[in-house]
A and B are shown apart, each in its own frame.
Chain A
Amino acid sequence: AQSVAQPEDQVNVAEGNPLTVKCTYSVSGNPYLFWYVQYPNRGLQFLLKYITGDNLVKGSYGFEAEFNKSQTSFHLKKPSALVSDSALYFCAVRDDSNYQLIWGAGTKLIIKP
């Protein structure tokens, strides 16, 4: 069965420091991986996706993610965190059989000034 794990409920980072939000996945075929961000009482905003190609994917708002097939990971990164990056981040993998997204539990990112 396909699954996504976000091992950290919360990540705290000081403003200006690099940030990493972890995601690991388990799929039977080729992984189609996504990161979304959700601000309070808002819908989800797409950050980036990995379909194929370069392992380092660049996305919105300065975020990037590295696809690592051997470690089955797709960690979200940003070189220098902003207070405005504080939000809830979700990793997801697409189920090829029905196009549904399998969601991680979410990680709350808190950037402190």
Chain B
Amino acid sequence: GAVVSQHPSRVICKSGTSVKIECRSLDFQATTMFWYRQFPKQSLMLMATSNEGSKATYEQGVEKDKFLINHASLTLSTLTVTSAHPEDSSFYICSARYLGSYEQYFGPGTRLTVT
């Protein structure tokens, strides 16, 4: 149980375009979802926390207008990287938790490459 999927697993886009990454909880209701960014050989950097039906809370230094997060349902959150640039290339990981759970359940990640 507690499976989280991400789509796509890999995406290549051109500079200036936008790309959407989906995060789904497959067998539970995700009251809270988290979006992380991971640079090569580094730890996870929390970008934002989103509660279903509410606006996401962004961490300091993360541009809200560039990284649009939507958590419209209890099973789906999306991260849209707008006007992507090569420096946005990274590994993006989402996680989710349900009400009362101690842990977060992680998606498999999305490798974004901006050319």
Contact = CB atoms under 8 A, between A and B. Distances in A.
Interface string A23-36: 00000000010101
Contacts, number: 50
Given A32-B102, A94-B102, A99-B32, A43 B108 contact: yes
A36 B109 CA distance: 14
Contacts of A104: 43
A90 B46 contact: no
Nearest to B6: A43
A55 B32 CA distance: 29
Interface size, B (range):
20 to 34
Given A46-B105, A49-B102, A94-B102, A100 B34 contact: yes
A70 B43 CA distance: 26
A84 interface: no
A7 to B, nearest CB: 14
B42 interface: yes
Interface size, A (range):
20 to 34
A88 B42 CA distance: 10
Interface in A49-107: 49, 51, 88, 90, 94, 98-101, 103-106
17 contacts: A32-B102, A34-B103, A41-B91, A43-B106, A43-B107, A43-B109, A44-B44, A44-B95, A49-B103, A90-B43, A94-B102, A98-B49, A99-B97, A100-B34, A101-B46, A101-B104, A104-B43
Q: Which 8 A-B pairs have the closest CB atoms?
A: A43-B108, A43-B109, A44-B106, A43-B106, A103-B43, A105-B43, A106-B43, A103-B44
